[in-house]
Chains A and B, each alone.
Chain A
Amino acid sequence: MNRRADAVVVGAGLAGSIAACRLAQAGAEVLLVAAGEGSMGLAPAWLDVLGRMSGPVSSPLAGMQSLPDSHPYARMGSGVVQEAVEFFSSLVSSLDYRGGLEDNMALPTSLGGRHLCAMAPPAMAAGNLDRAGSVAIVGIGAMRDFSACLVAQNLSAGGALSAQGVTVDFAGAGADLGNLDVARRIQEPKLRAQLGAEVLACIGGAERVGFPAVLGLGAHQEVVGDLERILGREVFEIATVPPSVPGLRLSSALAVLRRTLGVKEVIGARVTGFVPGPGGVGGLRVRAASRSQIYEADYFVIASGGVLGGGIEVGHQARSETILGLQIPEGPLGSLGVAVDNSLRPLGPSGDPVFQNVAFAGATVGGADPIGELSSQGICVATGYLAAEVVKAEVAKVARAK
């Protein structure tokens, strides 16, 4: 049994979602297939574009100019990166991202470190560490993985900021609460009013109040609004270890967009291989509950998440991409990826594209060191966007030919 679409996108993470939404907006019939959900719910929802090279990067746009030619940003040019980020902001306009590519902002991490990123949702951006003044960091007793005192200590040690840590009980709390437990409970107005009152009693004159990033899922804005009203000062969110509540907000926003833009999706089904076709790939073999199916298209975007997401398999000797079976050049684990050309087509050992109708996107793309450079989300957004642009142009060509 075969299915057909203008374009098939593999992967439901940030890169796959951006590519699928962009294509669907352009009127293409898009089929998205993914072995599972993407990893947005594991990462803070901030947008890292370029935060570190030999040292901290203060402007991603300026930093990009001195990347090596093989880096995805260098291949596409900073203009396209900027377009892509603008597309992202307007796509998820409901999340109201702050910041831009001109200047990085420094946001607190869950250990009280400084994280440099280009953009973040308002509640995270409000935690900008370069703003002067005193902050209170609030911990919730039953949440094991967030220590307010440790965060405050490390932030104060950094210099510019005076931070004080307080830990409060959370009404209705069990002995052991996860991030999601708190995020769901705090959506209850009574519970957050109680929490607010407790916090108010112990934060003294601090000008801003930082909470672990668990301030509600669907009702996030109401939660922040209520807490700010009760506390009479600005409230911000600090990234946590997974599950990431802000990441989930982003993930659900993109899921809704994919649906409303008419992307057809099959989540839970793994792509196990491909069948050859005119442009190199004719279809992808997808494992359903009991049979394999072939998803045919003129063009394919593979955003399979790299080593962590399942797109690249690392063995003792060799490293290979899991869908087309491409060999991955040797390198540090964090930078393993498929070598691509300027249109994100995969390159063979000779340096020529081996598949004409496939574009790679996201963490599976090589040439970068996303964790070291702090460029993970920027690369997803930029390559997802560019992949869609390339496919759009190809789909249009096919349509003209018909």
Chain B
Amino acid sequence: MRDEVVASTDGCVKCTICEQACPVAAVTDLFPGPKYVGPQAERFRHGDSVDRSVEYCSGCGACSVVCPQGVAVAELNIRARAQIPRSRRETLRNLALGDTESVARLAGLVPGVANALLGNRAVRRVAQWLAGVHRLAPLPAFAPRRSVRSFWTKSPGEGVPVVYFPGCSTSWYEPWLGEMVVAVLERNGISAQIAAGRCCGLPAQSNGFFGLAARRVARIAKELGAPVAKGTPVLASSTSCALMLMSEAKDVLGIESDPVLRLAEATWDVSEFLLDLHRQGRLDQKGLSPISRRVYYHPPCQQRRHLSGRPALELLALIPGVEIIESTQYCCGIAGTYGLKAEKYEVAMEVGRGLFSEIADSSPEVVACDSETCRWQITHASGVPSVHPVELLYESYGLSGARRPLRQDAKRKSARR
């Protein structure tokens, strides 16, 4: 079968537009740029690894977005990165970061202990030395079991059915966000059935474990097969999960099975779905009460690859009283698990520097951003609390019950020092 991703290299006219857009090459000589390691080096690879220069690609996808010739630059580079031979220690570290679901299932049993360990400076120093996870990197805190339970036991209300796919972050770190999403949907006559807590496979893919990633996606596609066959939309509040289900499973992992392709068609980013409701005149706009707050909105790099514009921004603009400052920066640097790694932490912080200083200059009360890892990075680097855009809708609707624990932010801030 013709591989569209590899075939797309023929479209490259060496115009350098991707080089101009790459946020990593802009800040470090360690990465020679997407064209060089992508369409150019691909001609020599034949599926093998020829050198390590692609290692510093963060997978943010800016290159694929800006390429006018339709070259799948990022997809090529993510695949090539997975082929780099690794030491055993590196493999173990990458597995710990890539198999988020297993790690979360284990640590989620004893969240208090896990958080105490991860918040401990000495432990983090050892972890950096032993496991290559940077001691300052913004690791999220596991949610208390009580709030996890409260999310999972929510029963779907009346309304038009959808499936809500929570992914790892909502399942184990931010269950209150899941509650808010479900409540906001319900408020608009949508009844969300919560899918099982699964990893979408993206962290495994970006850490080079394509087999594991493919199994993760296939399992989700199987579990959601019945509702998807009935035409039920699948919504994700994590932009990376949505991207994985929408396109990366096919374009990076190369999965072309029917269930996965059908799931791709059914998947929506939650903001895109809500905005679509609004366009159809079905969103309760009158119910949005004023919040007077200065909000800085940053669309994550993964969200841009949904190729749907900035739906969250348009939703936030519906909330009366909110003053929105729109980000002009491309990337916060974290790129999922990239910025957690000891050798890449500084690069990631440098990539995000423009964003962090723009945030500091515009002194918002809160940053809204659709991706959890970006939110953790942004709060870590800027000290400003960050929320998912739906959290602001939830507040504006005057809904209550779910609450983001304040100490989460405080904890992340202290880790920075």
Instruction: Encode contact with B along A32-43: 1 for CB under 8 Å, 0 otherwise.
Output: 001111110110
- A42, B267: Cα distance in complex, Å: 36
Give CA–CA (A308, B69) in the complex, Å: 9
| Cα–Cα distance between A1 and B13 once the two chains are bound (Å) | 33
A242/B16 in contact, CB under 8 A: yes
Complex CA distance for A266 and B308, rounded to whole angstroms: 6
Given the known interface contacts A267-B65, A289-B243, the answer about A178 and B19 at a Cβ–Cβ threshold of 8 Å is: yes
Q: Which residue on B lies nearest to A242, using beta carbons?
A: B16
Q: Is the CB of B20 within 8 A of A268?
A: no
Contact with A along B276-290 (1 / 0, CB 8 A): 100100000000000
Additional 18 contacts, C-beta under 8 A, given A268-B65, A287-B307, A308-B13: A36-B65, A36-B68, A37-B20, A37-B21, A39-B68, A42-B15, A42-B16, A178-B33, A180-B19, A243-B17, A264-B309, A267-B304, A268-B307, A286-B307, A289-B243, A289-B308, A290-B267, A291-B265
Q: How far, in Å, is A156 (CB) from chain B's closest CB?
A: 31
CB distance from A46 to the nearest CB of B (A): 18
Contacts of B125 in A (CB 8 A): none
Most buried by B among A37, A41, A256, A268: A268
Q: What 6 A-B pairs come out closest when comparing CB atoms? A: A36-B68, A268-B65, A290-B246, A269-B307, A289-B246, A37-B66
Distance in angstroms between the alpha carbons of A291 and B265 in the assembled complex: 6
A286 to B306, CA, bound (A): 12
Q: How far is the CA of A266 from the CA of B13 in the complex (A)?
A: 23
Q: CA A268 – CA B69 in complex, angstroms?
A: 10
- Interface residue tally of chain A, by bracket? 35 or more
Residue of B nearest to A293 (CB): B308
A178 to B310, CA, bound (A): 33
Within 262-298 of A, Cβ neighbours of B (below 8 Å) are at: 264-270, 286-291, 293
Closest to B25 in A: A180
The 8 A CB mask of B231-269 against A (1 = contact, 0 = none) is 000000000000101110000000000000000110100
Q: Are A256 and B69 in contact (CB under 8 A)?
A: no
Given the interface pairs A243-B20, A259-B326, the reply to whether A268 lies near B64 with Cβ below 8 Å is yes
Complex contact B17–A37 (CB within 8 A): yes
A305 at the interface (CB under 8 A from B): yes
Chain A residues engaging chain B, CB cutoff 8 angstroms: 1-4, 31, 34-39, 41-42, 174, 178, 180, 184, 242-243, 248, 256, 259, 264-270, 286-291, 293, 305, 308-310
Residue of A nearest to B276 (CB): A1
List 10 interface pairs A-B (beta carbons < 8 Å), by A numbering.
Answer: A36-B65, A36-B69, A36-B70, A37-B21, A174-B29, A178-B19, A256-B328, A259-B326, A289-B308, A310-B69
By a CB distance below 8 angstroms, the chain B residues around A178 are 19, 33
Residues of B with C-beta under 8 A to A243:
16-17, 19-20
Which of B29, B65, B307, B314 has the most chain A CB within a 10 Å cutoff? B307
CB distance from B10 to the nearest CB of A (A): 14
Asked if A290 and B247 make an inter-chain contact with CB atoms under 8 angstroms apart, the answer reads yes
Contacts of B310 in A (CB 8 A): 264
Bound together, the chains give a CA A39 to CA B66 distance in angstroms of 10
B305 beta carbon closer than 8 Å to chain A: yes
One of A4, A180, A286 near B20 (C-beta < 8 A): A180
A21 to chain B, nearest CB (A): 16
Q: How far is the CA of A318 from the CA of B108 in the complex (A)?
A: 62
Known contacts: A42-B15, A256-B328, A268-B65. The answer to whether A288 contacts B307 by CB under 8 A is: yes
Please give the distance in Å from A43's CB to the nearest CB on chain B: 11
What residues of B have a CB within 8 angstroms of the CB of A1 in the complex?
276
- Residue in contact with B328 in the complex, picked from A184, A259, A267, A305, CB distance below 8 Å: A259
* CB pair B307 A309 closer than 8 Å: no
Say yes or no: is B26 at the interface (Cβ < 8 Å to chain A).
Answer: yes
Question: Which residue, of A31, A41, A290, has the highest number of chain B Cβ atoms within 10 A?
Answer: A290
Within 8 A of A (CB), among B222-236: none
**A35-B20 CB under 8 A given contacts A42-B15, A242-B15:** no
Task: Collect the chain B residues with CB atoms within 8 Å of residue A184's CB.
Answer: 26
Q: A269 — nearest CB in chain B belongs to which residue?
A: B307
Residues of A within 8 A of B68 (CB): 34-39, 305, 309-310
Kindly state whether residue B67 has any CB partner on chain A within 8 Å: yes
Determine the residue in chain A with the shortest Cβ distance to B250: A290
Q: Which of B26, B306, B308 has the most CB of A within 10 A?
A: B308
Q: Which residues of A contact B326 (CB under 8 A)?
A: 259
